[in-house]
Each structure stands twice: as structure tokens, then as C-alpha cells.
Structure 1
Amino acid sequence: MSNPTEPTPPSSAPVVPRPQVPHRDLLQLTVLPDEAELRADIVRLRAENNAVILAHNYQRPEVQGIADFVGDSLGLSRMAARTDADVIVFAGVHFMAETAAILNPEKTVLLPDLRAGCSLADTVTAQGIRDWKAKNPGGLVVTYVNTTADVKAVSDYCCTSGNAVQIVQSLPEGVPILFAPDRFLAAHVIRETGRQMDVWDGACHVHEAIRPEDVQGQQAAYPDAELLIHPECGCSSRILSAIPDLQLYSTEGMIGRAKTSAAQEFIVVTETGMVTRLEHDVPDKTFIPVSRTACCEYMKMITLENIRDSLLNLQPRVTVPEDIRAQALKPIERMLAIG
């Protein structure tokens, strides 16, 4: 007689799994787009709509490749101001499309993905600026172009990283300057101009996260490489304390420096997309990103597929109410007039 406490011998019959109900959210129900077809569609739709595609330096490589113009905030603002296209497709983030709409109220301005925001722009509001001005009567507000239209509307001047020093130098001596929202760019302007400023406590989450240790690690790996550091970077002050003669560069400034420098290798201390632009414009030199994690998820929301779709549907469209647009235009025009 068998012992009932002994385990039952394993059956030789195969185990049949229970029927599974498909999880529809995990299924790929659409065919992945072919990049060559997307490019062909974009070229055709761009011509049909008399459209121009403007792309920021931090965009994906394939997006930079299809753009009519790739540049920094200042260059894109200038291109938006003088384009004769009927449609502007902005491969960038929301405040950039707003700036194009401010400069071109009669044109259709498209942002292929409305989720493409900006962590720096989110650090300041128009009411915050109003309250700040009330506490500093007579002060001039200089806002980085990385701000919303309603913030620009309550500002006196706009600036970019490429012309912030020049803008502040142009302001009358003795007048209080309120600089918003990037505290790291403000520190750079103070160092360069010697002007004292009241500074808003804001920062770009990507640039703020770049550590001195990231820079030092790449310097150890590439000892002959020259540093190209953006003034928005949180690491800049500590790096400058170790290398006092080091120059900081806007993204366009990085291109100019890379072309004229005798160095053959460069550590690029800003968002990773800038490496793509540098490799395109200075193909005979080597560019090393400071960190593979220095990547703006908002910038990377723009794709060939949603550029194609925006040209096909002429949506999503970015507009600015006329009362805000008229006020926001003034500091932008003052910026463009200065440099």
C-alpha cells in the first residue's frame, strides 16, 4: 500500500497553459513608418503648404536633417521674423513656437507635439514678474527667451544665451536689472559685465543636472579635448574656479569656437543634440557629449512622423492672444534691434 504522505509522482503529460486574453495596449496595431517615405511626404507637404521647418540645435538628428534652418533661440527668432513662408513648423518647444507666432501673427505656426514644453519656462509666471517689479520700482526686467508669451508681455527686454551679455551692457548704468529666469546664465552675465542684478531662481533641469564630475570624467578620458560649456550649466561656476580663463559659449558660439580652435577634440557641455549640429558643421573634428543623460525629453518629442502629420493637418497650431502678442513683441524687437 502506498503512503498517502508521499508526493505524487510527476505526470508525463505536458502542462497546457491557460488561455490568455490579449492585452490590446501591448499590441503594435500600426505599421511602423518608413523613414524614407516620411521624408518624401514632408518634402512634398512642405512645398504644397509653402512651409518652412525651423529646428533647434537640441532636436533629434533626423529632425535636424529635414529642417530648412537649424540654430539657437536667437537664430530661430531671426529666421521666424524674416521668413516669407505661409506656414512655420517649429521643431522645438512651446515657447519657441509662441515666439514665432508673436513675430508672425498672420502666419500659421505649428508645433508638432504640444507636450513639448520647457522646465525652465515653467519656473516663472507673469504674475511672479509683476510682483517682482512692484517690489523693485524703476527696475528693468530682462527675460531669457526661454519664457512664455505672457511672461515676455510683462518684460522690458528679452535675451538669449548668445546675446544676454550684450543686452545687459546696453542698459543704462544705475538702473536696477531684474534677470529671469535662469540663475546660471545670470551668473555668467554678472561675471562678464560686472553689473549687479536681482536674479530669479530658475534653471533648466537638463543643464542643472550636469555635474562637475561629469566634466572631469570626460577630461580624464579625453585629456587633449577642449571644453565647450554652455552658460546655463550648473557646473560652470565650479569649472571656472578651476580654469579661470575658460570661456563659456552659446550653442552658436560653440560652432564658431570649434571652427577656429586648433583643438581636434571637444567635450560638449550642454544637451546632447548639440553634438549632431557640431558634427554637421565641423565634420573634420571630434565631439564628445559630456553625458549621455544630458538629454531633454521635451526637445525629443518632435519626430519626423509628427512633423509629417502637422503638415498634413496644419495642426496643432500655436497662437497668442493679440493683447498679449502686442506687449510681448516689444521686448523681442528690442532684443533683435540690439543684437
Structure 2
Amino acid sequence: MIDVIEIEPRDGIDRFQLRRPMPPAQFDPLSREIFTLKKQLNAVILAHNYQVPEIQDVADYVGDSLGLSQQAAKTQADVIVFCGVHFMAETAKILNPNKIVVLPDKDAGCSLEESCPADKLAEFQKTNPNFYTIAYINCSAAVKALSDVICTSGNAVKIVEAAPRDKDLLFVPDENLGAWVIEQTGRPMTLWKGNCYAHVEFRRDAVLRMREKFPDAKIVVHPESLREVRDLADAVCSTEKMLSYCKSSPAKRFIIVTESGIIHRMQKECPGKEFLCAPV
């Protein structure tokens, strides 16, 4: 049985791939200005897989939040421009305390991060001291500091399998990712009641209609999605593993159940294959 902590929600990975920058002659005027300023400031631009194509195309690296932060730790740049949401830039700063990290949009929030306020987690831990807290990386630095271990969607199963057997497990903040990990490991966990609004919008009936229209397509689903959608999938995996799956699969058509920004990178890295955004 899965226990879910009733906390009122608030509205709101392991690898990366180096991308060749577009030749400056192909940039529009604004893009050329960005390219010039980047050189002047010795900056590196990191863009999350979910960013819009025009942002991805001016970035030095495109990937998931952890992979980008790990790349940032290796860079010789003085300034890191992180095109993502707040917790991603925060993670990059944790890994690069001596570098300037810039978040272009200070209001770029995440409903999943906001669903687990650090003070609420601390309050729960105080009354439940035996819990071993596993935090999905998509959370604030304050929540990370309260946790025993941090995981990504790509390694969550391994982290839970390795967790102490003499402790009760608390998984924060995504209840859907946590439920999927329970399915994979068989280990009971208490799940924080949080979710990513973009992923819970996908519904079984809509994905089934897509399957009926494109019966040859493989359905690839992010584990933050609802179980009713995950159960339809040919593959459930993180964004980076989605790319690996689509590259290695002999299939030529895929229905992608995650934010649509990933499609741009898939089209670039998997020529000759068709990618369809799942409806919501």
C-alpha cells in the first residue's frame, strides 16, 4: 500500500550531449548579439531539454538538469547562464560555488518544487524521525539540505534499492515518480503529495486515441506522469533515456509523453524518425 502525505499543493538526469553551436551566419540579429555577448563575458549557456527551439539553438549544451549542472562544474567559463527553472540554477550554483550563475527569468518556477516547502518537510521529519528522506533533484536547495540522499529520474530505482533496510522511506516531492519507483523495486515508501503539472495533464484516453491513429508508434512516457498513462508505455524513462531509447529503437515513429520542448532535440539527433507530442 502507498501512503501519501496530504500537503496542500501550490500551483506551479544523469547524462547530457555536447551540441555543436550553430554557425554565427545563421543566427538572427538577437542571436548574434547573444553570441557576441557570451564571448565578451566568457559565459556558457546551458538550456534544458524543455526549452523552446530558439533557446536551445543558442545554447552551448542542451540536456537534463543534472547533466547540465555537471557540465557546468567542468566549464572554464566565468559566467553560467542557466536557461531553466529556479531549482536547476540553484543546483548549478551548489556544484559551482565560485562561479556566477545567472537565471535569465527570475520568475521561472516549478510546481513540483513549490509543492514541497522546506518548512513543511522539516515539520514532518520532526514528528517522524525514523524516516530516511529521498529527494528527487527537482526540489529546492532547502529541501535537499533536509534530505539523506538526492536522486534523479534516471537513477531513482538504484537509489531506493540501496536505501537502508532498517528505515522507513520518505520520497519527495513527486508522488508519481515515487509510485513508479515502488512498482520497479517493490519497496514501500511514503510519498509526498507533489507533482509536475505538465505531466499530470496527460490522460489515458487522449494517449489511447493517439495510439489508435498511429498504431505503429512507440509510446515513450516520463515517470512523472500518472500511472494510467505509464501503463500504456512501451518505455518509461527520463528525458535523456528517452533520447537513447528513440535512437536505438528500430521504430520510426514515437509518441512522446513529456513537455514538447524535447521534440526539437529529438528531431536533430534522430534524423529519419517522426516524433509526435502526446495531447493533453
TM-score w.r.t. the length of structure 1 is: 0.72
Cα deviation per residue 1:59-97 (whole Å; 9 max; x = unaligned)?
000111111111112212211222221100001011111
The answer to whether structure 1 residue 65 and structure 2 residue 66 are counterparts is no
Computing the radius of gyration from Cα coordinates, the structure with the larger value is 1
Corresponding position of 1:115? 107
The answer to whether structure 1 residue 284 and structure 2 residue 259 are counterparts is no
Aligned-partner Cα distance in 2 for 1:284–1:241: 28
Query: Quick check: 2:70–2:95 contact (8 Å CA) kept in 1?
Result: no
Aligned-partner Cα distance in 2 for 1:42–1:170: 44
Aligned-partner Cα distance in 2 for 1:166–1:46: 38
Task: Give the superposition deviation at 1:174.
Answer: 2.8
Aligned-partner Cα distance in 2 for 1:242–1:153: 36
The answer to whether structure 1 residue 141 and structure 2 residue 133 are counterparts is yes
Corresponding position of 2:21? none
The aligned length equals 255
Query: Whose relative contact order is higher, 1 or 2, with alpha carbons under 8 Å and at least 6 apart?
Result: 1
Query: Quick check: 1:73–1:160 contact (8 Å CA) kept in 2?
Result: no
Corresponding position of 1:254? 242
Structure 1: which 4+ aligned runs deviate by more than 3 Å?
A: 239-243
Q: Kindly, what percent of the aligned residue pairs are identical? A: 47
Aligned-partner Cα distance in 2 for 1:271–1:172: 34
Query: Quick check: 2:219–2:232 contact (8 Å CA) kept in 1?
Result: no
Cα deviation per residue 1:184-219 (whole Å; 9 max; x = unaligned)?
000111111111111100001111111111211111
Corresponding position of 1:217? 209
Query: Quick check: 1:225–1:263 contact (8 Å CA) kept in 2?
Result: yes
Aligned-partner Cα distance in 2 for 1:130–1:263: 47
> Could you say what secondary structure the match of 1:162 adopts?
coil
Query: Quick check: 1:228–1:268 contact (8 Å CA) kept in 2?
Result: yes
Task: Give the superposition deviation at 1:140.
Answer: 1.5
Corresponding position of 1:316? none
Cα deviation per residue 1:275-323 (whole Å; 9 max; x = unaligned)?
11111111220000002x5xxxxxxxxxxxxxxxxxxxxxxxxxxxxxx
Cα deviation per residue 1:235-290 (whole Å; 9 max; x = unaligned)?
xx2245567xx431100111111011111000000111111111111122000000
Corresponding position of 1:204? 196
Query: Quick check: 1:74–1:162 contact (8 Å CA) kept in 2?
Result: no
> Could you say what secondary structure the match of 1:177 adopts?
strand
Aligned-partner Cα distance in 2 for 1:154–1:174: 19
The answer to whether structure 1 residue 238 and structure 2 residue 228 are counterparts is yes
The answer to whether structure 1 residue 42 and structure 2 residue 37 are counterparts is no
Task: Give the superposition deviation at 1:43.
Answer: 1.1
Aligned-partner Cα distance in 2 for 1:88–1:175: 39
Aligned-partner Cα distance in 2 for 1:81–1:191: 34
Corresponding position of 1:311? none
Residue among 47, 50, 60 paired with 1:55: 47
> Could you say what secondary structure the match of 1:120 adopts?
helix
Aligned-partner Cα distance in 2 for 1:114–1:86: 20
Query: Quick check: 2:260–2:277 contact (8 Å CA) kept in 1?
Result: yes
Residue among 168, 173, 180 paired with 1:181: 173
Given the superposition, is the C-alpha separation of residues 152 and 221 from structure 1 closer, same or farther in structure 2, using an over 3 Å criterion?
same
Match for 1:238: what amino acid?
A: E
Gaps of 5+ in 1: 1-34, 294-339
Given the superposition, is the C-alpha separation of residues 125 and 239 from structure 1 closer, same or farther in structure 2, using an over 3 Å criterion?
closer
Match for 1:278: what amino acid?
A: M
TM-score w.r.t. the length of structure 2 is: 0.87
Aligned-partner Cα distance in 1 for 2:110–2:232: 31
Cα deviation per residue 1:156-187 (whole Å; 9 max; x = unaligned)?
11111111112212222232111001010001
The answer to whether structure 1 residue 104 and structure 2 residue 92 are counterparts is no
Match for 1:205: what amino acid?
A: Y
Given the superposition, is the C-alpha separation of residues 119 and 241 from structure 1 closer, same or farther in structure 2, using an over 3 Å criterion?
closer
Corresponding position of 1:12? none
Alignment of 1:318-337 (within 5 A): none
Query: Quick check: 1:179–1:198 contact (8 Å CA) kept in 2?
Result: yes
Match for 2:139: what amino acid?
A: T
Gaps of 5+ in 2: 1-26
